[in-house]
């Protein structure tokens, strides 16, 4: 439970709010590189932290991220012409470069120097790991760019997607770090269950949550019928990332998420899938691209809204639900998450909830976020800006009884960047 004031601080992300100021101190995943596939390709609209923006790739491959609205009379630059090193408004021809400088103003007389006085809001961008990142904070506070395992693997080893989630970002984070719901929402029937699958069915894990320099290390412990304990270890990395443990010990596919606020009622749900050691198999990749995959949902063509959405009850199949093969009757782990998280309302009133012991991780995560935002208001630098601290992994592992998970899994939880030396 949170007070109404704390809930407000947690969910509001506009430029003048404490959480909005906090988020503007981090690099933000803004778009997939493939959304701007070539120089001078059509621009793309993207709303981030309540700001309507338009992204484009100029003739020199430089990425620009500008205010969506032209400073002249506010027409949308989404309709702009992306040509010869800038984005030109189609209303009266004003043209802006990737840094937001007005470089042409054909509607004014040639002798006018008005164009030198006009700029448009622009944010710096970087492109690496298949992602276009932006920084929307004070220029002199810009941190180094974050390095995650999924940004280090070759393109053949990874598949990323982003889609709209119609809820406040923090509901999505809460789902991402809540390891107990996998025993219910994502339950599947296994014909010959392995010890870990049986353990996953234990719906009342005990949580051990450790605060770290970058966020939280979250151990969810489930007893098994054997000597060992099954640990699922999730990493929460400030300000909105979760690295999710594989469901079984031998699964090579790794999963990470980012939940980036579009505005206070919607967020970008990013899913990062990657295999550190090898390319993703063609058949799996095809399923991901088609949206016929547990984690990568099919989208309505031309939009980033899932085909399964709240207007059609996520295409819930009551017969499937009754058959017990699928606990929720909703297809796809990612959409199962979206369904329950969106169904709580676009903004949950956390002053009215009833939390239990399995909510331990989200209780600490809320505190970490609120303390970071409050700390920044008091001049304390936020956690998770030192890229060296971000070199971590999630893990699922069987450990002998009595061994603390932080020690037993310590090697599995480290990311060794040197393992990823390769050339594109
Ligand atoms: S509104 Fe863009 S040039 Fe006039
Ligand atoms: Fe989930």
How many whole angstroms from 88 Cα to the centroid of ligand 1?
Answer: 9
* Minimum mean pLDDT range among 106-110, 188-192, 393-397: 188-192
Angle at 297 between CA 295 and CA 299, to 5 degrees: 160
Q: What is the mean pLDDT of the chain?
A: 94
Atom of ligand 1 nearest to the CA of 75: 1
Instruction: From 109, 141, 173, give the residue that closes a domain.
Output: 141
**Residues near ligand 2 ion, CB 5 Å cutoff:** 337
Residue nearest to atom 3 of ligand 1 (CA): 92
Q: Are residues 66 and 168 in the same domain?
A: no
**What are 351-379's pLDDT values in tens digits?**
999 999 889 999 999 999 999 999 999 99
Instruction: Flag whether pLDDT at 246 surpasses 90.
Output: no
Q: Are residues 99 and 216 in the same domain?
A: no
CB of 91 within 6 A of ligand 1: the answer is yes
Q: Are residues 51 and 99 in the same domain?
A: yes
CB of 96 within 6 A of ligand 1: the answer is no
Q: Supply 160's token pair.
A: 């990323």
Domain annotation covers residue 8: no
**What are 188-226's pLDDT values in tens digits?**
777 667 766 766 777 688 999 999 999 999 999 988 777
3-state secondary structure the chain: CCCHHHHHHHHCCCCCCHHHHHHCCCEEEEEEHHHCCCCCCCCEEEEECCEEEEEEECCCCCEEEEECECCCCCCEHHHCEEECCEEECCCCCCEECCCCEEEECCCCCCCCCHHHHCECCEECEEEECCEEEEECCCHHHCCCCCCCHHHHCCHHHEEEEEEEECCCHHHHHHHHCCHHHHHCCCCECCCCCCHHHHHHCCCCCEEEEEECCCEEEEEEEEECCCCEEEEEEEEEECCCEEEECCCCCCCCCEEEEEEEEEECCEEEEEEEEECCCCCCCHHHHHHHHHCECCCCECECCCCCCECCCHHHHHHCCHHHHHHCCECCCCCCHHHHHHHHHHHCCCCCCCCCCCCCHHHHHHHHHHHHHHHHHHHHHCCCCCCCCCHHHHCECCEEEEEECCCCHHHHCCCCCECCHHHHCCCC
Q: How many structural domains comprise the chain?
A: 2
Q: How many CA atoms lie within 13 A of 369 on its CB side?
A: 28
* Minimum mean pLDDT range among 174-188, 286-300, 303-317, 323-337: 174-188
231: nearest Cα among 175, 182, 179: 179
Residue 380: count of CB within 10 angstroms of its CB: 11
Q: Give the mean model confidence (pLDDT) for residues 105-125.
A: 97
Rounded CA separation 163/388 (Å): 29
How many whole angstroms from 377 Cα to the centroid of ligand 2?
Answer: 33
Sign of CA dihedral 68, 71, 76, 82: negative
Q: What is the pLDDT of residue 423?
A: 47
Q: Are residues 119 and 201 in the same domain?
A: no
CB of 420 within 6 A of ligand 1: the answer is no
Q: Are residues 94 and 235 in the same domain?
A: no
Q: Are residues 234 and 286 in the same domain?
A: yes
Q: Are residues 113 and 208 in the same domain?
A: no
Any idea what the CATH number is for the domain that residue 54 is in?
A: 2.102.10.10
CB of 81 within 6 A of ligand 1: the answer is no
CB of 89 within 6 A of ligand 1: the answer is yes
**What are 253-273's pLDDT values in tens digits?**
999 999 999 999 999 999 999
Residue 226: count of CB within 10 angstroms of its CB: 12
**What are 309-347's pLDDT values in tens digits?**
999 999 999 999 999 889 999 999 999 999 999 999 999
Instruction: Please answer whether residues 172 and 152 qualify as being in contact, where contact means their C-beta atoms are separated by less than 8 angstroms.
Output: no
Q: What is the pLDDT of residue 424?
A: 42
Q: What is the pLDDT of residue 359?
A: 92
Q: Give the mean model confidence (pLDDT) for residues 150-162.
A: 96
Instruction: From 141, 161, 192, give the residue that closes a domain.
Output: 141
Q: Are residues 360 and 336 in the same domain?
A: yes
Residue from 76, 79, 89 whose mutation best tests the ligand 1 pocket (most atoms within 8 A of CB)? 89
How many whole angstroms from 107 Cα to the centroid of ligand 2?
Answer: 53
**What are 11-45's pLDDT values in tens digits?**
999 999 999 999 999 999 999 999 999 999 999 99
Q: Supply 143's token pair.
A: 């941190």
Q: What is the pLDDT of residue 69?
A: 98
Q: What is the pLDDT of residue 191?
A: 67
Domain assignment of residue 43, given as a range? 27-141
- As beta bridge partners, residue 208 has 219
Q: Give the mean model confidence (pLDDT) for residues 267-288.
A: 96
Q: Are residues 114 and 174 in the same domain?
A: no
Q: Any idea which ligand is nearest the CA of 178? A: 2
Q: How confident is the model at residue 179 (pLDDT cuts 50, 70, 90)?
A: confident
Query: What's the pTM?
Result: 0.95
Atom of ligand 1 nearest to the CA of 107: 3
Instruction: Flag whether pLDDT at 166 surpasses 70.
Output: yes
């Amino acid at each position: 439970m949170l007070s109404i004031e704390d809930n407000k601080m947690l969910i509001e992300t506009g430029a003048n709010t404490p959480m909005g100021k906090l988020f503007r101190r981090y690099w933000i995943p803004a778009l997939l590189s493939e959304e701007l596939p070539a120089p001078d390709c059509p621009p793309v609209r993207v709303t981030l932290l309540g700001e309507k923006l338009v992204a484009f790739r100029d003739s020199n491959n430089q990425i620009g991220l500008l205010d969506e609205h032209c400073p002249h009379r506010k027409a949308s630059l989404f309709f702009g012409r992306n040509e010869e090193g800038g984005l030109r408004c189609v209303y009266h021809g004003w043209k802006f470069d990737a840094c937001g400088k007005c470089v042409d103003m054909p509607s004014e007389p040639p002798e006018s120097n008005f164009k030198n006085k006009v700029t448009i809001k622009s944010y710096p961008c970087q492109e690496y790991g298949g992602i276009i990142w932006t920084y929307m904070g004070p220029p002199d506070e810009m941190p180094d760019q974050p390095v995650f395992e999924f940004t280090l693997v070759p393109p053949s080893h990874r598949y990323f997607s982003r889609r709209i989630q119609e809820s406040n970002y923090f509901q999505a984070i809460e789902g991402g770090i809540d390891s107990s719901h996998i025993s219910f929402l994502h339950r599947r029937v296994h014909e010959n269950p392995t010890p870990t699958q049986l353990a996953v069915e234990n719906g009342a894990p005990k949580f051990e949550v450790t605060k770290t320099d970058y966020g939280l290390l979250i151990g969810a412990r489930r007893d098994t019928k054997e000597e060992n304990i099954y640990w699922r270890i999730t990493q929460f990395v400030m300000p909105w990332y979760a690295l999710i443990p594989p469901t079984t010990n031998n699964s090579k596919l790794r999963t990470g998420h980012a939940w980036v606020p579009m505005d206070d009622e919607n967020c970008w749900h990013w899913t990062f899938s990657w295999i550190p050691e090898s390319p993703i198999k063609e058949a799996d990749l095809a399923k991901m691209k088609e949206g016929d995959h547990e984690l990568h949902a099919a989208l309505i063509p031309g939009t980033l809204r899932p085909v399964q959405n709240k207007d059609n009850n996520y295409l819930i199949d009551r017969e499937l639900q009754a058959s017990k093969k699928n606990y929720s009757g909703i297809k796809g782990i990612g959409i199962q998450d979206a369904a329950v998280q969106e169904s709580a309302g676009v903004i949950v009133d956390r002053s009215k909830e009833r939390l239990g012991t399995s909510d331990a991780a989200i209780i600490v995560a809320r505190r970490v976020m609120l303390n970071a935002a409050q700390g920044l208001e008091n001049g304390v630098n936020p956690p998770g800006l030192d890229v060296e601290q971000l070199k971590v992994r999630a893990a699922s592992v069987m450990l002998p009884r009595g061994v603390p998970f932080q020690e037993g899994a310590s090697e599995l939880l480290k990311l060794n960047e040197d393992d990823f030396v390769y050339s594109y």
